[in-house]
Chain A
Amino acid sequence: DQQVKQNSPSLSVQEGRISILNCDYTNSMFDYFLWYKKYPAEGPTFLISISSIKDKNEDGRFTVFLNKSAKHLSLHIVPSQPGDSAVYFCAASGTGGSQGNLIFGKGTKLSVKP
């Protein structure tokens, strides 16, 4: 049973436009959410995170939105650049017995076309 779901395996966006990557989760105990970016043959690189006490966190071109009632978060990249082309993973972590371990989605491959 997948606790973190990224339902779109791929997304194609024109350079300069906004990229919106979505992620849904099922476990209401999750309280910390992260986005990672991964290039082929490299490990995931941390991008941005958000705590459940917030609904928005912004860092440059990257903004993460959290809707706790819908158990949904999204990553907005604006403006999108060709170098943003990569696989983006959503991850969630919870308190209690989880020890802060991350549960990952399957990833969304973003292609930004020049």
Chain B
Amino acid sequence: GAVVSQHPSWVICKSGTSVKIECRSLDFQATTMFWYRQFPKQSLMLMATSNEGSKATYEQGVEKDKFLINHASLTLSTLTVTSAHPEDSSFYICSARQDRNQPQHFGDGTRLSIL
């Protein structure tokens, strides 16, 4: 149980392109989903927290207009990297949590490479 699916797993695209990453909880309803970013040899850094049906809460230093998050249902959240540039190249990973008393369960991540 507690499976989180993240798609796509790897994206290569040109600078200026917008990229959408999907995160789905397959066998549970996720009231909260989280988006993280990981740089090489660094820990996971939380970008934003989204609760179903409400606006995402972004961490300090994360541009809201750059990283658009939508959590339209209890099983799906999307992260759109708008007008991506090479410095946005990173590993993005989502997690989902059923409620506050449950652990977060992670997707397998998306490797984003902007040329």
Tell me the A residues contacting B by CB distance below 8 Å: 4, 34, 36, 41-46, 49, 89, 99-107
A107: contacting residue among B34, B43, B93, B97, CB under 8 A: B43
Q: Are B49 and A99 in contact (CB under 8 A)?
A: yes
Can you spell out 28 A-B residue pairs with CB atoms less than 8 angstroms apart?
A4-B43, A34-B103, A34-B104, A36-B106, A41-B9, A41-B108, A41-B109, A42-B108, A43-B4, A43-B109, A44-B93, A44-B106, A45-B106, A46-B104, A46-B105, A46-B106, A49-B103, A89-B44, A100-B32, A100-B97, A100-B100, A101-B34, A101-B46, A101-B49, A102-B44, A102-B46, A106-B41, A106-B42
Given contacts A43-B109, A89-B43, A102-B104, 19 further A-B contacts (CB under 8 A): A34-B104, A36-B106, A41-B9, A42-B108, A43-B4, A44-B93, A44-B106, A45-B106, A46-B103, A46-B105, A49-B103, A99-B57, A100-B100, A101-B46, A101-B49, A102-B46, A103-B46, A106-B42, A107-B43
| Interface bin, chain B | 20 to 34
Closest chain B CB from A22 CB (angstroms) = 15
Q: List B contacts of A89 (CB < 8 A).
A: 43-44
Q: Are B6 and A43 in contact (CB under 8 A)?
A: yes
Q: List A contacts of B105 (CB < 8 A).
A: 46
Tell me the B residues contacting A by CB distance below 8 Å: 2, 4, 6, 9, 32, 34, 41-44, 46, 49, 57, 93, 95, 97, 100, 103-109
Q: State A83–B69 Cα separation when bound (angstroms).
A: 36
Closest chain A CB from B44 CB (angstroms) = 5
Closest chain B CB from A53 CB (angstroms) = 13
B44: contacting residue among A45, A46, A99, A104, CB under 8 A: A104
Q: Answer whether A43 and B108 are a contact pair too, CB < 8 Å, given A89-B43, A89-B44, A99-B57.
A: yes
Q: Answer whether A43 and B93 are a contact pair too, CB < 8 Å, given A99-B49, A102-B46, A104-B43.
A: yes
Q: State A34–B44 Cα separation when bound (angstroms).
A: 14
Closest chain A CB from B60 CB (angstroms) = 12
